[in-house]
Structure 1
Amino acid sequence: MSSSSAPLFRFGVVADPQYAALEPNLELDRYPAKSLAKLQEAIAEFNRHDLAFVVTLGDIIDRHWESFDDILPVYASLRHERYFLLGNHDFAVAPEHLTKVVNRVGLSSAYYDFSHAGYRFIALDGNEVSLFAPPEGDPRRDEAKALMKALDDAGAPNSHRWNGAISNTQYDWLAAKLNEAKAAGEKVVVMNHYPVFPENSHDALDSERMLALLSRHDHVVAYLNGHNHAGNFGTVGGTYFINFKGMVDTEDNSAYAIVAVYEDRLEIAGFGREESRVLSLS
């Protein structure tokens, strides 16, 4: 079969279910309690397709440690491999639980990578340097404050306490993984909870440094994220920056997607509020 008729593989994408047993936030048009049913509907759709995996791009819960007890079992009905990233709301739990969040969703590390059919998927921990994920007294909180002050001084729009950054250690790991994938002849998809482009108030605190690194690599075909529930899209060089819309938003409409990877393009089939796109690969 030619590349035009059969994809190399497909995978599912969910962003920001942000579940909690809470009343709706009418000001933000968010309905956290309805995310269980929305996720069940998305999984039923995913299960109708031959997918390599399904990734959730962070903010699995809205708040409260016990929210994980309600939403994680919903994923048990998914017949595909699943990957989780963590977002800022996943750390909106009591202080004694902060260091347990990573393990609670079945991860041994909050950042990791895996390969599939000539592609390297790199999952980042964008919460590592932040005011919410590290425990109280952790120097990474001071590092986040310093980043926010520098952004404030520069008049940047993203100096907010609900954004985060990766550490120097994780940055070096990412740089090494990009080089490793290039040497292996793999195309790369980077995934993070936080956007880095286009410029937006939701961007990672280290978005400029991240964008500069990714721009040096022509084998990075896409960067996938959530966090900005309205969604966003941009291109830099040959890399597509795709911000998927938040599942938690609106009372009746969901948002999720299936991405089909072809030799020459990515085809995103959007469900609910999510947009469909055809993105050529050079």
Structure 2
Amino acid sequence: MHADTSPLLRFGVIADPQYAAVEPNLVLGRYYANSLTKLAEAIETFNAEDLAFVVTLGDIIDRGWQSFDAILPLYDKLRHPKHFLLGNHDFGVDPEKLGQVFGRVGMPSPYQTFAMADWRFVLIDGNEVSLFAPPPGDPRRTAAETWIETLKSQGADNAHPWNAALGDVQFAWLEETLRKAEAAGEQVVVMGHYPVYPPNAHNMWDSQRIVDLFGRFKNVGAYFCGHNHDGNYGLADGTHFVNIKGMVETPDTTAYAIVEIHADRMAIRGYGRETDRTLQLETIMPRLVVAASR
């Protein structure tokens, strides 16, 4: 039994609605148009709860600028603050609109951080070095071409054009953000579109350096992501890696979650295909106290 009953805070999580007004892909099991109904149901559930915010972990749409016009109004019915990450499919728009996607969903910047109840939330932009998000001719796209060819030559499982990496400036920002959080005594949840652990074909190209970075900061309690619609979970160096299942999958079974943060654990309440989990944080708290007392 746990002594505390009231969480420090709760937040809602959605991954990969991937909406488009197109026929389903029966081979992949993706029912793009049905995500409007599933998302409306999730928002109704969230609105009945006391949540600090709701985050969508990317792939709001599958393709087409007009898809934003259909799905984003549903989020206007949400009574809680909302945060978006972008995924690879969110950049499936005309090249001249690539630079407008962040603004279209109301993101203040491609990556950001905010704090609540002594927890630091860090939202990263995993699309920065990719073959789809930067406009044609952008040096980040050239860097992505080199990166994926190197991975292919190494036989890497994640050497796919629908994965991506952080740029070095953003990686340095992430490291500095974790360092400041540690100094302030804050525990951390990082969120991104792409998995980084356990090893998987859907992982970011630079997943290993991200996992290694988290391992150096013992206050990183969890990393939440989407992209791999089957979901996944791993634990490494005290950090829980939670891959939320894709809402777009199946004709009518949804997938989303509510996360409760307690002093000693996170409790994930899954809906539809999403899994219930209890993530123990005891391994983090003592280390955090020791680090803060130095």
- How does the TM-score come out when normalised to structure 1? 0.98
Give the structure 2 partner of residue 76 of structure 1.
76
2:257 equivalent to 1:257: yes
- Aligned twin of 2:116: 116
| Alpha-carbon distance between aligned partners in 1 of 2:240 and 2:262, rounded to the nearest angstrom | 15
Cα distance in 1 for partners of 2:107, 2:268 equals 27
Say if 1:111 and 1:125, in contact at 8 Å, map to a contact too: yes
Shift of 1:65: 0.3
Secondary structure in 1 aligned to 2:150?
Answer: helix
Within a 5 Å distance, the mapping from 1:189-228 to structure 2 comes to 189-228=189-228
SS at match of 1:66: helix
Letter in 2 for 1:106: G
Aligned letter for 1:191? M
The separation in 2 between residues aligned to 1:153 and 1:225, in whole angstroms, is: 27
Counterpart secondary structure, 2:114 = strand
CA positional deviation for 1:151: 1.3
Paired residue for 2:244?
A: 244
The CA distance in 1 between the partners of 2:117 and 2:266, in whole Å, is 14
**Aligned partners of 2:216 and 2:148: how far apart in 1?**
25
Paired residues for 1:62-211 under 5 Å: 62-211=62-211
Once the two structures are overlaid, the 10-residue window that deviates more, 207-216 or 192-201, is 207-216
Return the alpha-carbon distance in structure 2 between the equivalents of residues 111 and 191 of structure 1.
10
Aligned-pair distance for 1:167?
A: 0.4
Distance 1:248 1:100 in 2: 24
* More displaced stretch, 228-237 vs 204-213: 204-213
TM-superposed deviation, 1:154: 1.8
Shift of residue 145 of structure 1? Answer: 1.4
Q: Contact 1:3 / 1:263 at 8 angstroms: preserved in 2? A: no
> C-alpha distance in 2, partners of 1:27/1:37?
21
Provide the identity percentage.
58
Alpha-carbon separation, structure 2, partners of 1:105 and 1:180: 28
Q: Deviation at 1:211?
A: 1.1
SS in 1 for 2:29: coil
The AA in structure 2 aligned to 1:20 is A
CA distance 1:269–1:99, shift in 2 (3 Å):
same
Aligned-pair Cα RMSD in Å? 0.8
Alignment partners' CA distance in 2, 1:243 and 1:108: 25
Structure 1 spans left out of the alignment, 5+ residues = none
Task: Tell me the CA shift for residue 108 of structure 1.
Answer: 2.3
Give the ranges of 4+ consecutive aligned residues of structure 1 lying more than 3 Å apart after TM superposition: none
CA contact (8 A) 1:38 1:254 kept: yes
2:145 aligned partner, one-letter code: K
Unaligned runs of 5+ in 2: 283-294
Q: Give me the whole-angstrom Cα distance separating, in 2, the residues matched to 1:118 and 1:230.
A: 32
The answer to whether residue 249 in structure 2 is matched with residue 276 in structure 1 is no
The range that moved more, 141-150 or 272-281, is: 141-150
1:29 aligned partner: 29
The alpha carbon displacement at 1:22 in A equals 0.6
| Contact 1:3/1:264, CA 8 A, preserved across alignment | no
The TM-score, its normalising length taken from structure 2, stands at 0.94
